[in-house]
Amino acid sequence: MLLMRKLKSQEIPLIEHLLDKSGLELEVSDLKVTEMDDGGMGSLRFHSKTKEPKFGEAAAEYWFQDNDGIDVTARLNLDQNGELFELDVWKTDFTKLKEWPSI
């Protein structure tokens, strides 16, 4: 069973930035997430009211470098109903994310 939780303080700036880029206006303190099994890269699945949410479209993307110099992309994805679906974080060498970006 996956543990649902509120966002951690280090995750909030990136998610707020992606929400701004996407034009979505949501209160991040209300968001609930579960951590995805991605090898520690930081991907999150948003809690949804949709019964069986599925990927719909990418809403915004941000590239940054982890503190070890490796490129990372973070993409905010929406479900088939236009609701938040996931924050897909991919570190290009597939290692664990060392530090969330400060935006």
pLDDT average, residue stretch 1-19: 92
Which residue range forms the structural domain that includes residue 65?
6-24+32-91
Q: Residue 10 domain-assigned?
A: yes
pLDDT at 78: 97
Q: Residue 17 domain-assigned?
A: yes
pLDDT digits (tens, 9 = 90+) for 19-43: 999 999 989 988 999 999 999 999 9
Q: What is the pTM of this model?
A: 0.91
Torsions phi, psi for 57 (to 5 deg): -165, 160
Q: Residue 75 domain-assigned?
A: yes
Q: Residue 72 domain-assigned?
A: yes
Count of structural domains, the chain: 1
Measure Cα distances from 44 to 18, 37, 89, 90, 99 in Å. Answer: 14, 9, 8, 11, 15
Q: Residue 99 domain-assigned?
A: no
Q: Residue 1 domain-assigned?
A: no
Of 6, 73, 68, nearest to 43 by C-alpha is 73
pLDDT at 34: 96
Measure Cα distances from 52 to 4, 59, 85, 94 in Å. Answer: 16, 19, 11, 28
